Structure 1
């Protein structure tokens, strides 16, 4: 029987290339990149090099590449960042994930109901 995975909204299996890169980084750069010791400085260099590679691939400055711990943090940061930079009112559907609903509601935004 062939398994079909349909919950990509929650998580997506890593591509083999991404998994290999993650395993390598985890094995060789486990230190806190904000530390002052040698292993921390190596982790910071690896993080900065990765940021530079992603920025180049997206044709954006490295300062615009932000790493987050997951989707909820990324949603929250994106909504707050846009509102802080551009102002306006955030609007989202009432069916969004709580990571979207909560920052929109906290900012005084609107949720729009869904009709069947």
Structure 2
């Protein structure tokens, strides 16, 4: 949830969203109340929302990278993108069933 808040703050600072409702609709591809509902219930975002946000941020970073005026924006976005992909990978691995071969090979 922390990374969604960070993404919202960065995009708001860049003037690319005005509210949590707009962020939820435009950047997460969810209902307007999605982010505030997640916060109120202390739930983790759906993987689809995380992956969609990360992909949209990658497109934005690529578009901004061609203009030297936005290099700081691109740097911040790329750091956030890396963190989001790390979160996606960690959640995917945590949700994956444990395989016997992995268990034996790693001694876990």
TM-score range normalised by the length of the shorter chain: under 0.3
The structure whose Rg is larger is 1
Report the structure, 1 or 2, having the larger helix content: 2
Structure with bigger RCO (C-alpha 8 Å, 6+ apart): 2
Q: Which has the higher strand share?
A: 1
**Structure 1 length as normaliser, TM-score?**
0.26
